[in-house]
A and B are shown apart, each in its own frame.
Chain A
Amino acid sequence: MAMSREDILQQVQEILVDALGVDDDEVSLESRLMGDLGAESIDFLDIVFRLEKAFSIKIPREELFPAESLMNNPEFVSNGKLTESGLKEIRERLPHTDLSEFEKDPDLNKLGDLFTVNAIVNFVDNRLNAA
């Protein structure tokens, strides 16, 4: 069943309010899960579990939040920054995320900023509404 982006956003907001203990007016499309909403690593799994239930989809953890395997691979990371092949990899893995800002300074510490509410909505939208 096709869902509109507004409906998806509303559900995602509810999930984040429950999972992160934030107020609903704190959750906007631009909110960063870690920087703005205080998410920690276990919260990402919690969010994945809740998304799976709410939208009846199966989400391999790596697909939505692929940071860990990237960070541990020397081919992709050098001196705390993503290498060219690391950037290429993350572009492929996060087709639902806007990387233009991050690419200017691909610092690992900023990787967390990529995980925004918008990225989750895009991900779910692709999953539910891709032909």
Chain B
Amino acid sequence: MRWIWIDKFVEFKSGQSAVALKNVTLAEEHLHDHFPGFPVMPECLMIEGMAQTAGILVGEARKFSEKVILAKIRKAVFFDYVKAGDSLMLEAKIESLAPEAASTSGRITRGEKLIAEIDLMFSHVDKNLSGKEFPEENFVFDDTSVFDSLLREVASQPPGPGAAESEQE
């Protein structure tokens, strides 16, 4: 089983940007201990959620031909607590994309409220560590994971009004 910190994609522009939704619930057991009597979503899990959103975006940009691994947290700043019942939007944007790596910028919001700014770097493992093996669970995305279903869902949506526009660019 993998811990997945996004519930679905609400927008996906291949090679450019993605927006994922995360609903926080008290059914998440870690909230009971973090902290006792004051349940708030751990910031590290918000980073993981952003890594999943941005990692899928980066992997999909090259059609998952390379394995994508979180390589560096360039920036992580948090502005408010996240509690059960909150609906978070995780917006990720590709800043740079090279054969061996990618950098992304990201924002997490709850309604109008900015919760976090998280900028990440991903490494394309196959390009950088020729032949070295990593445990499968290290990868943000592989084609057998439940992430696949997240992406299928957003890919099957009819293109919105912005889609044609972005294709023309």
B95 at the interface (CB under 8 A from A): yes
In chain B, positions 75-103 with a C-beta closer than 8 Å to chain A are 75, 95-96, 98, 100-101, 103
- With both beta carbons as reference points, the residue of chain B lying nearest to A72 in the complex is identified as B130
With a cutoff of 8 Å between Cβ atoms, the chain A residues found around residue B98 in the complex are 45, 48-49, 61
- With both beta carbons as reference points, the residue of chain A lying nearest to B75 in the complex is identified as A18
With a cutoff of 8 Å between Cβ atoms, the chain B residues found around residue A49 in the complex are 95-96, 98, 101, 103, 121
Within the complex, what minimum Cβ distance (angstroms) separates A129 from chain B?
24
Q: How many A-B residue pairs have CB under 8 A?
A: 30
Which listed residue (A46, A52, A53) contacts B74, Cβ 8 A?
A: A46
B72 at the interface (CB under 8 A from A): yes
- With both beta carbons as reference points, the residue of chain A lying nearest to B103 in the complex is identified as A49
Question: By the criterion of a CB under 8 Å from any partner CB, how many residues of chain A are at the interface?
Answer: 11
Establish whether residues A42 and B96, one from each chain, have CB atoms under 8 Å apart when the complex forms.
no
Establish whether residues A45 and B74, one from each chain, have CB atoms under 8 Å apart when the complex forms.
no
Interface residues of chain B, those whose CB is within 8 Å of chain A, are 71-72, 74-75, 95-96, 98, 100-101, 103, 121, 123
